[in-house]
Amino acid sequence: MLDSFLNIKTNQESLEYFPEEINEKFFTVSEITREIRTSLEHKLSNVCVIGEISNVRKPGSGHVYLTLKDKNAQLQAVVFRNTASRTKFELKDGIEVVSFGSITVYEPRGQYQLIINKIEPKGIGALQLAFQQLKEKLEKEGLFDHAHKKTIPFIPQKIGIVTSPTGAAIKDILNIIERRFANVEILIYPVRVQGEGAAQEIAEAISELNKLSDIDVIISGRGGGSLEDLWAFNEEIVARSIYNSRIPIISAVGHEIDVTIADLVADKRALTPSEAGELVVPRKDLLVEKIEKFKARLLQSLTGKLRLSKEKLVRIANSYAMRQPFDRLNRWQQKLDEFTQRLNLNITHALYAEREKLSGIAGKLESLSPLNVLKRGYTITTRLEDNKSLRDIKNLSKGGKIKTNLSKGSVISEILSIEKR
C-alpha cells in the first residue's frame, strides 16, 4: 500500500502530460488521506524511535507536543496526558530519548505524527534522570538551603511519624526511642510508602501534622528498597511539603546509600530509620545521671561551706575575744544572730524543702545562739530610750537609764557615774 502511494506521488508531475497512464481511480483529498493513514498506521504501529527532543510545547490540556529530531530529519510527536503523567522525568529540549509508540495521520492537517506511549531517556534510567532533574530544579529554587533548615528540638515532647504502620521502619524507630527516652508521646500517621498515590499520602500527612499544635518534630521515611520502591520520596510534592513544614522534619529513607530528594530537603537526614530514632531523642539515662551529679555537687559545696562556717563560729565563741568586754561580744552576738537567722531561714526554704537532712546543723547552731551566751552569764546592755545596744560609753550620761538583758529577764538601771578606762 505504502509503495503504491509513493508511486503515485512520484508520478504526479507527469499527470497532466500522461493522464491516460493513470488507470486507477481518482481520489478526493479525504480519500487519499484516509488511504495514507490506513497504510501508515498499519505498517508503522508499535515502533521504537530514537531521537533528540526539541521544540517541546505543554499547553493546559496536559498533552505534551514535541519534535523528535536527528541530524537529517524531524518527526512530530505527541505524548498524551495519561502517558505524560506517568513519565517520571521532565520532557525537555535536548534530551536523547527512546520513544515507543505508533505513527498516525492527523487528517484535518494532512500531517503524520508519532503518538508516544512510553518514553525513556537514552543511556540512563528514567528515574535517575528524573531524580537529577528535580534535584537540579529544587536546588536552584533553594529548597536544600542550609539557612532554611530548622533545629531539631533536644527533648521533644511529642513526635509525629509518617510511615507505613506495617513496615520495617516503624519497628526500628519505635525500638530505638523506647530504649533511649521511653516517656515521649508518639503519633503515627499511617501512609503508603510506595506505589501509586504514596507521594500524595506522604505530602498530605506532613501538612496534616502541621495543623496539630503539639507536634515538636516529624520523622518521615521507610525502610530500604529499590529506586522504584523509594520513589515517593523523590517526588516534588513530598519535597515541597517537607520544605513548607513549620515543624522540623527528620527524613529517614532506606539505607545509607539511597539519598532521596526528601533527604535533601529535610531539616535533618537520618541514614536509616534506626538512626532517626537516635537523632530524635537523647539518651535519658545519661541526662539523669548528669543532673544528679550536679545536684550532689551542689549539696556537697553547701554542706562544706556550712561546716566551715560552724567551725569558725565555734572557734570564735570559745576564743579569748569572747571573754573580752561587751563591745566585742555584742558585735559577735549580732553576727551570730544574723547568721542564725539566715541559716534557719534558708535551711527551711532550701534544705528542708529538698528533704536534705541538714537539720542537725541547725540544732548545733542553736547551741551557739545568743540565748545560750546569756545563760552562761553574759549580759547585753541597751540604752533604754532607744533600745540600742551599748558598745562604749559614748552617748551615755549620768542619770540616763539603761537596760541589762540577762538570761531570764532584764534589769533597768540609772547611771550613777561613768568611768573611762
Partner 1 sequence: MKKPDFETSLEELEEIVGQLETNDLTLDETLAKYESGIKIYRQCNLILEKAEKKINILLKNSIGENRTEKFNLKKTTNTGSSSIEE
Q: Which residues bind partner 1 (CB under 8 A)?
A: 153-155, 157-158, 164-171, 174, 182-195, 198, 208, 222-225, 229, 284, 287-288, 290-291, 294-295, 297-299, 301-302, 304-306, 309, 339, 342-343, 346, 349-350, 354
Continuous H helices in 64-192: 81-86, 126-141, 168-180
Least separation, in Å, of the C-beta of 168 and partner 1?
6
Rank residues 22 and 288 by Cβ distance to partner 1 and give the closer one: 288
Give CA–CA dist 266/269, Å, rounded.
6
* Cα dihedral across residues 189, 191, 193, 198: positive or negative: negative
Rank residues 18 and 154 by Cβ distance to partner 1 and give the closer one: 154
Least separation, in Å, of the C-beta of 239 and partner 1?
20
In whole angstroms, how far apart are CA 306 and each of 31, 297, 313, 339, 391?
Answer: 114, 14, 11, 11, 29
Rank residues 173 and 329 by Cβ distance to partner 1 and give the closer one: 173
Least separation, in Å, of the C-beta of 57 and partner 1?
38
**Residue 134, C-alpha cell as written in the block:** 528535580
In whole angstroms, how far apart are CA 401 and each of 206, 329, 383, 415?
Answer: 86, 21, 7, 6
Rank residues 51 and 254 by Cβ distance to partner 1 and give the closer one: 254
Q: How far is CA 135 from the centre of its chain?
A: 21
Least separation, in Å, of the C-beta of 186 and partner 1?
5
Contact 180, 282 (CB under 8 A): yes
Least separation, in Å, of the C-beta of 342 and partner 1?
6
Rank residues 77 and 169 by Cβ distance to partner 1 and give the closer one: 169
Q: Is 185 left (phi over 0), alpha (psi -120 to 50) or beta?
A: beta
Least separation, in Å, of the C-beta of 287 and partner 1?
6
Rank residues 168 and 374 by Cβ distance to partner 1 and give the closer one: 168
